[in-house]
């Protein structure tokens, strides 16, 4: 097995390729060129080919890529060919929204429980909501692949530490704070405010250009 380190830029493109290939497959398209994929992603056809070369290549020169085959290979690469047990820490607005997100379950990411300091509802869409005092016992009994941190900023770090101590290896973080974790724990951040501020930056830049 190659131990080549794949760059972050390539890693972040993989889910986008996957999404486009899912769409093409649903539309019944059987093959796609690197040029077409390049156009969908906003990169060059050469970049597309280079990206896939990291994983073996997949296409036939002059033919392009077989859509169902490429989607399956990308699903394997992305680890989408198995199921993941998820828990959500924080049963507020964001936690409840994520618990209700049907797409995740369809792709194998199953929310098994939510945890909160203040349990208002005992279940959300059939998923149990438990007091955070039950977290340790629950994880020891059921295990947990991915923990979603959907708490307030002030408790996110403590939640992360507790989860790491319980052996959870992946955190999906919606709190606006950087989590410090050991090297063997993966973290992905959804930085909503940062995205919104990029939008206001772009709006301001356009306003300034228009006033020249």
In the structure encoding, which two tokens stand for residue 148, read together? 């979603």
CB 100 within 8 A of CB 128: no
118 binds a second copy (CB under 8 A): no
Shortest distance (Å) from residue 156 CB to a second copy? 13
CB 175 within 8 A of CB 196: no
CB 94 within 8 A of CB 154: no
Beta bridge partners of 146: 86
Segment lying near a second copy (by CB under 8 A), choices 11-19, 24-32, 43-51, 131-139: 11-19
Would you say how long the chain is, in residues?
212
Binding mask 97-116 for a second copy (x = CB under 8 A): xx-xx-xx--x-x-------
Segment lying near a second copy (by CB under 8 A), choices 26-34, 110-118, 130-138, 192-200: 192-200
Q: Which helix (H) or strand (E) holds 192?
A: helix 192-210
Q: Which residue of 24, 84, 131, 180 would you call a contact of a second copy, by CB under 8 A?
A: 84
CB 92 within 8 A of CB 121: no
Shortest distance (Å) from residue 61 CB to a second copy? 27
155 binds a second copy (CB under 8 A): no
Q: Which helix (H) or strand (E) holds 166?
A: none
Segment lying near a second copy (by CB under 8 A), choices 28-36, 57-65, 72-80, 129-137: 72-80
DSSP string for 78-109: TT-SS-EEEEEE--SHHHHHHHT-HHHHHTTE
Binding site residues, a second copy, CB under 8 A: 1, 3, 11-12, 14-16, 18-19, 40, 77-80, 84, 92-94, 96-98, 100-101, 103-104, 107, 109, 145-146, 169-170, 172, 176, 178, 184, 186, 188-204, 206-209, 212
């Amino acid at each position: 097995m190659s131990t080549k380190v794949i760059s972050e830029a390539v890693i972040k493109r993989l889910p986008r390729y996957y999404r486009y290939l899912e769409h093409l497959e649903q539309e019944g398209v059987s093959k796609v060129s690197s040029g077409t994929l390049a156009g969908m992603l906003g990169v060059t056809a050469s970049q597309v080919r280079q990206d896939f070369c990291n994983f073996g290549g997949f296409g036939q020169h002059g033919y392009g890529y077989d859509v169902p085959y490429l989607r399956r290979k990308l699903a394997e690469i992305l680890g989408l060919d198995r199921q993941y047990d998820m828990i959500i820490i924080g049963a507020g607005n964001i936690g409840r929204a994520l618990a209700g997100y049907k797409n995740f379950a369809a792709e194998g990411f199953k929310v098994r429980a939510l945890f909160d300091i203040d349990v208002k509802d005992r279940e959300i869409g059939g998923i149990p909501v438990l007091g955070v005092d039950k977290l340790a016992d629950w994880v020891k009994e059921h295990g947990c692949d991915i923990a979603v941190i959907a708490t307030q900023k002030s408790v996110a770090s403590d939640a992360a530490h507790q989860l790491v101590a319980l052996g959870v290896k992946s955190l999906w973080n919606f709190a606006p704070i950087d989590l410090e974790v050991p090297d063997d724990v993966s973290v992905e951040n959804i930085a909503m405010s940062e995205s919104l501020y990029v939008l206001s930056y772009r709006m301001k830049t356009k306003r300034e250009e228009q006033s020249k």
